[in-house]
């Protein structure tokens, strides 16, 4: 036993010395660039979204730096992986703020991670720009002055979808949503807004498969028996691909109109190929659409630049990454400083930016981004590839909750916490 204690102790001591040794050289740093610590999921199954997002982010950063940077300083992103775990994200945030001494934090794809980083940012009094994750809670229920959201939130794009759905001749609705925060969020936003616009809407059935469910045949049967005329799906990603593949041969999409929160995204449409649900109504970034490119003349050029860089077609996430970098840069520019409080003040005043796909408003009262919204219908193009067509464009500002409503949400949430 003594020998083992001795060995273990020596090992511990050695490791501690190594630790100290590793730290000392790393301590001193000169910092002309503006450094932003970006925390996201760069390993595992979220990479299908985060890799294109990162390409967009870095493409924008390069453009900004080539044009002279922000306030004459280059902008630099330092990346960390959160392994899809909120506590890893907090750890990374601590390192970035405490050790790397970044000026700002950014990132997230999972809402849980976003909320965790936001809570840390509030504690550490560091400004956090939430990027890819979409929960409305970030800037509303759990919002505070140290968190801004540079992309879409669920409230906006689901309401835009509901607005379009309200124009369809369907009164009897059902849904299928994964049983977790996001799924509940989508359904609640959708149905409450739909009922607002169309009070005679009836909910025929609710389906809550677990997140990551592989076999949906019983849900398909349930939907077929529900007497619903239409249904909305908050199921996404690989799960939605499986759902669509399983539902098709049962003839579900012929019987009940399919509205989806995400099937228009290429990560789902492309693998589905000829099994894609033609006729489905869904939001999506249809940069290839003729109408889109006519309305937004700079879009085609942006796409080409992205494809040259990333060797792949852009996704919605890529556009978010791109926009986020510019939004962060703009906030710093307007503040004429990289100091946290000044940038928060600049964000508080709000501003607008033009992107190749339209105008994004950064709203002052909640530091929430309000981008353009699109809905489209899945169709097969001439090459037999599924795409979105009949794109209708609107803007988040037409549907987003007002500043007053946000204030009420925050007050309500604060009450609950007491």
Partner 1 sequence: MRPAAGLGLLALALAVAPLALPPFFLQLLTEIAIVGLFATAFNLLMGFGGMVSFGHAAYFALGAYTAALLVKRAGVPLLLALPAAPVVAAAGALLFGVFIVRLSHTYFAMLSLAFAQIVFTVIFKWKALTGGDDGLLDVWPPGLLKSPAAYYYFTLAIVGLCIVALHAIVDSPFGYALKAVRENPRRARYIGIDVRRHQLAAFVISGAFSGVAGGLFAFYNGSVFPDFAYFTKSFEPLVVALLGGVQSFFGPLAGALGFKILEWMISRQWPVYWPLFLGSIVIVVIVLLPAGFVGLVRGLPWRTRPPAKA
Partner 2 sequence: MSWITNGPLITVQVMSGLSVGMLLFLVSVGMSLIFGVTRIVNLAHGCFYMVGAYLMVTLVEILPDRPWAFWVALLLAPLGVAALGGVIEIGLLRLIYRRDPLMQLILTFGLILVIGTLVLLAWGPDNKSVSRPEALAGSVRIFGQPFPSYYVLVLALAPLTAVALWLVFYRTRWGMLVRAATVDREMLGALGVNVAALYTQVFVFGSWLAGFGGALAAPTVAVALGMDGDVLTTAFVVVVIGGLGSFAGSFIGALLVGLLQSFGILVFPAVSIVLLFAIMAVVLIVRPWGLLGRPDA
Query: Does residue 214 bind partner 1 (CB under 8 A)?
Result: no
Candidate ranges 120-128, 251-259, 344-352, 374-382; the one touching partner 1 (CB under 8 A): 120-128
Binding status of residue 417 toward partner 1 by CB under 8 A: yes
DSSP one-letter code for 209? P
237's contact among partner 2, partner 1, none, with CB below 5 to 8 A by partner kind, is partner 2
Query: Is 255:224 a contact under the CB 8 Å cutoff?
Result: yes
For residues 194 and 136, the answer to whether their CB atoms sit within 8 Å is: no
Which of partner 2, partner 1, none does residue 86 bind to, with CB < 5 to 8 Å depending on kind?
partner 1
What gap in Å lies between CA 276 and CA 27, rounded to an integer?
A: 54
Contacts with 116 (C-beta within 8 Å, 6 or more apart), sequence order: 86, 87, 89, 90
In whole angstroms, the minimum distance from the beta carbon of 312 to partner 2 comes to 9
Packing angle of the helix pair 299-310, 316-335 (nearest 10 deg): 110
Minimum distance of partner 1 from residue 137's CB (angstroms): 7
For the CB of residue 26, give the shortest distance to partner 1 in the complex, in Å: 9
Whose tokens are 């049983």? That residue is 179
- 8 A C-beta contact, residue 329 and residue 75: yes
Asked if 54 interacts with partner 1 (CB under 8 A), we say no
Rule CB under 8 A: say whether 21 interacts with partner 2.
Answer: no
> Tokens for 189?
């936003």
From residue 331, alpha-carbon distances to 127, 168, 348, 403 in Å are 11, 40, 10, 20
Q: Distance between CA atoms of 67 and 56, rounded to whole angstroms?
A: 17
The answer to the question of residue 238 lying near partner 2 (CB under 8 A) is: yes
Fill in the per-residue mask, 150 to 189: x = in contact with partner 1 (CB under 8 A), - = not in contact: -----------------------------xxx--------
What count of other Cβ atoms lies within 10 Å of the Cβ of residue 34? Answer: 21
Here's the x/- map for partner 2, 181-220, by CB under 8 A: it reads as: --------------------------xxxx-x-xx-xxx-
Question: Should residue 245 be labelled a site residue for partner 2 when binding is judged by CB under 8 A?
Answer: yes
The β-bridge relationship of strands 358-363 and 372-380 is unpaired
Unique residue bearing structure tokens 């109109």 = 257
250 lines the binding site for partner 1 (CB under 8 A): no
268 makes contact with partner 2 (CB under 8 A)? yes
Give the interface with partner 1 as residue ranges (CB under 8 A): 2, 4-13, 15-16, 18-20, 22-23, 27, 42-44, 47, 79-81, 83, 85-87, 90-91, 94-95, 98-99, 111-112, 115-116, 118-120, 122-123, 137, 142, 179-181, 417
């Amino acid at each position: 036993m003594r020998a083992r204690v001795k060995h273990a102790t020596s090992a511990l001591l050695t490791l501690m010395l190594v630790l100290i040794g590793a730290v000392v050289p790393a301590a001193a740093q000169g910092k002309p660039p503006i450094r932003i610590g970006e925390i996201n999921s760069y390993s595992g199954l979220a990479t299908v979204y985060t890799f294109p997002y990162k390409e967009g982010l870095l493409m924008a950063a390069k453009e900004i730096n080539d044009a002279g940077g922000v306030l004459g300083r280059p902008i630099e992103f330092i990346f960390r992986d959160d392994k899809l775990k909120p506590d890893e994200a907090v750890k990374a945030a601590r390192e970035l703020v405490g050790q790397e001494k970044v000026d700002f934090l950014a990132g997230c794809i999972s809402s849980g991670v976003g909320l965790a980083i936001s809570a840390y940012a509030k504690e550490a009094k560091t400004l956090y720009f939430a990027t890819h994750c979409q929960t409305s809670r970030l800037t509303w229920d759990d919002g505070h002055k140290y968190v801004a959201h540079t992309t879409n939130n669920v409230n906006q794009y689901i309401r835009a979808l509901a607005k379009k759905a309200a124009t369809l001749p369907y009164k009897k609705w059902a849904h299928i949503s994964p049983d977790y925060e996001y799924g509940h969020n989508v359904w609640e936003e959708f149905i409450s807004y739909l009922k607002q616009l169309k009070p005679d809407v009836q909910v025929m059935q609710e389906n809550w498969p677990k997140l990551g469910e592989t076999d949906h045949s019983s849900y398909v049967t349930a939907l077929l028996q529900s007497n619903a005329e239409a249904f909305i799906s908050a199921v996404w990603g690989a799960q939605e691909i499986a759902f669509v593949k399983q539902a098709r041969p049962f003839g579900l999409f012929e019987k009940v109109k399919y509205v989806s929160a995400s099937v228009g995204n290429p990560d789902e449409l492309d693998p589905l190929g000829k099994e894609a649900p033609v006729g489905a109504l869904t939001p999506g970034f249809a940069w290839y659409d003729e109408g889109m490119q006519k309305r937004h003349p700079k879009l085609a050029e942006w796409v080409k630049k992205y494809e040259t860089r990333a060797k792949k077609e852009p996704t919605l996430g890529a556009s978010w990454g791109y926009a986020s970098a510019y939004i962060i840069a703009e906030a710093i520019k307007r503040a004429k400083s990289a100091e946290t409080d000044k940038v928060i003040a600049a964000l508080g005043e709000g501003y607008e930016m033009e992107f190749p796909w339209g105008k994004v408003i950064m709203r002052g009262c909640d530091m929430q981004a309000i981008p353009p919204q699109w809905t489209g219908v899945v169709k097969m193009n001439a090459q037999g590839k599924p795409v979105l067509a009949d794109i209708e464009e609107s803007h988040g500002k037409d549907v987003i909750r007002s500043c007053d409503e946000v204030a009420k949400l925050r007050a309500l949430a604060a009450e609950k916490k007491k």
